[in-house]
Amino acid sequence: MEGARIGRLELRRADLRFPFPTAFSDRVSGTRIVGLGRRAKYLLIDLDSGETVIAHLGMSGSFRVEHEAENELSGAFHHARSKDEKHDHVVFHIEGAQGAVRVIYNDPRRFGFMDLLPRVDLDNYPAFRQLGPEPVGNALDAAGLAARFAGRSQPLKAALLDQSNIAGLGNIYVCEALWRAGLSPVRAAGTTVTPTGKPKKELVRLVEAIRAVIADAIAVGGSSLRDHIRTDGTLGYFQHTFRVYDREGHACANPECDGTVARIVQAGRSTFYCSRCQE
């Protein structure tokens, strides 16, 4: 999409979770995409008009790419994506170097949304103002997390899902990172901090685990994509990439542990963990 022109933005309804921004189609149609980015779970599409499209997938949203010529799909996801056309709500008609392409936003439950605002105003966007550091890059470190976690009785799981502590970590990767770090999701966040506010070694371990989980997920996603399309061409589940998430009742993947993965519910979300090796 980068460098390509959006010939037309097609809206097939008036809203998603929220109404589309004023004159959304007119302001996006005919612009050129100068960059694609991300902040937390928000996708950013920078346009040569100086405005940026902000898109959030909600619970069930997905983009798929269809080449006008071949109708082929690009991408593979843990959660199978809906291809039901009645849930195709937004279509970016792209005129790129590889010909005409449709980038289609599909969202059966419509918890996703899109917004459009001047690039220079992004930092003041309400959803961005309170976001913590990104989990990739140098902004996240154990000392910074220690300052946020000190004295907190909130469970570690909830503290990690709190976007003001770390931006963009979701349920799956929080479960995976806690398992890798050998930390219980129910222990109080403050127990990873010394009385003088320094990170304990387990918090240092947790930060390393968060980075590693994300790096591995990106790497595995890339290689699975090609393998998967070559074998059967369908989209599906990639649970083999997870060590603990969605593995209730399975043996713990830690070779030094004979525990079993359990599922509990914390703040309405499933937590998968091993009570034997996560302390």
Which residues would be at the binding site for Zn ion (CB under 5 A)? Answer: 252, 254, 257, 259, 274, 276-277
- Of 41 and 276, nearer to Zn ion (C-beta) is 276
The least distance separating Zn ion from the CB of residue 190, rounded to whole angstroms, comes to 24
Q: Enter the tokens of residue 98.
A: 């590889």
- Of 55 and 178, nearer to Zn ion (C-beta) is 178
The least distance separating Zn ion from the CB of residue 272, rounded to whole angstroms, comes to 11
Residue 135 CA to residue 31 CA, distance in Å, equals: 32
Q: Enter the tokens of residue 214.
A: 């994300």
Residue 236 CA to residue 158 CA, distance in Å, equals: 29
The least distance separating Zn ion from the CB of residue 185, rounded to whole angstroms, comes to 13
The least distance separating Zn ion from the CB of residue 208, rounded to whole angstroms, comes to 18
The least distance separating Zn ion from the CB of residue 186, rounded to whole angstroms, comes to 15
Q: Which of 35, 97, 25, 99 is nearest to 66 (CA)?
A: 99
CA atoms within 13 A on the CB side of 100: 7
Residue 167 CA to residue 190 CA, distance in Å, equals: 19
- Of 257 and 262, nearer to Zn ion (C-beta) is 257
- Of 55 and 183, nearer to Zn ion (C-beta) is 183
The helix/strand count (H/E) of the chain reads as 6, 11
- Of 95 and 258, nearer to Zn ion (C-beta) is 258
The label of the residue with tokens 């770090």 reads 181
Helical ranges in 162-266 per DSSP H: 171-181, 201-231
- Of 154 and 254, nearer to Zn ion (C-beta) is 254
Residues near 23 by beta carbon (within 8 Å), at least 6 away in sequence:
none
Q: Could you say which DSSP state residue 93 is in?
A: E
The least distance separating Zn ion from the CB of residue 142, rounded to whole angstroms, comes to 23
